[in-house]
Structure 1
Amino acid sequence: MSKEMMAVLAFGLIAAIAVFMLVKERRGIAERKEARGGREVDVSDLIAFGSAAGEGKKTSGE
């Protein structure tokens, strides 16, 4: 097998792993979103409001 073919196979393997990891991450995001009842929690909200943002209680009006 030539060096060029080995390079094509190596880059193809890297691309396949990247696509697999992307799909796996997208499924993980969907599972976490479903666990939160379909709500999106922004990372900046978590930094500013802590765990209350994840529970949907950013304001203390209640």
Structure 2
Amino acid sequence: MSKEAMAIVVFGAILCVALVMFVLERRGVAARRAARGGREVDVSDLIAFGSAAGDANRNRAED
């Protein structure tokens, strides 16, 4: 196998792994969103205010 063919195989494998990781991440995001009942929780709020930010967003959505 030539060097060019080997490079194509290696980069193809890297691309396949990247696509699989992307799909798994999107499925994880969807699962976490479903667990929160479809609510969006801003990560910056969680960093600044802890889990109380998630509670505040849930209470605001119910009003």
Q: TM-score range by the shorter chain?
A: 0.7 to 0.9
Deviation at 1:14, TM superposition (A): 0.1
State the match for 1:13 in structure 2: 13
**Where does structure 2 lack aligned partners over 5 or more consecutive residues?**
58-63
Partner of 1:49: 49
Structure 1 residue 42, shift from structure 2 partner: 1.0
Structure 2 length as normaliser, TM-score? 0.84
Match in the other structure for 2:22:
22
Moved more, 44-53 or 11-20: 44-53
In the TM superposition, residue 28 of structure 1 has moved relative to its aligned partner by 0.1
The equivalent residue for 1:2 is 2
* Separation of aligned partners in 1, 2:52 and 2:30: 21
How far apart, in 2, do the equivalents of 1:25 and 1:17 lie?
12
What is the aligned partner in structure 1 of residue 60 from structure 2?
none
Question: How much has 1:54 moved relative to structure 2?
Answer: 2.1
Structure with the bigger percentage of helix? 2
Higher RCO (Cα < 8 Å, 6 or more apart): 2
CA RMSD of aligned residues (A): 1.1
User: Which sections of structure 1, spanning at least 5 residues, go unmatched?
Assistant: none
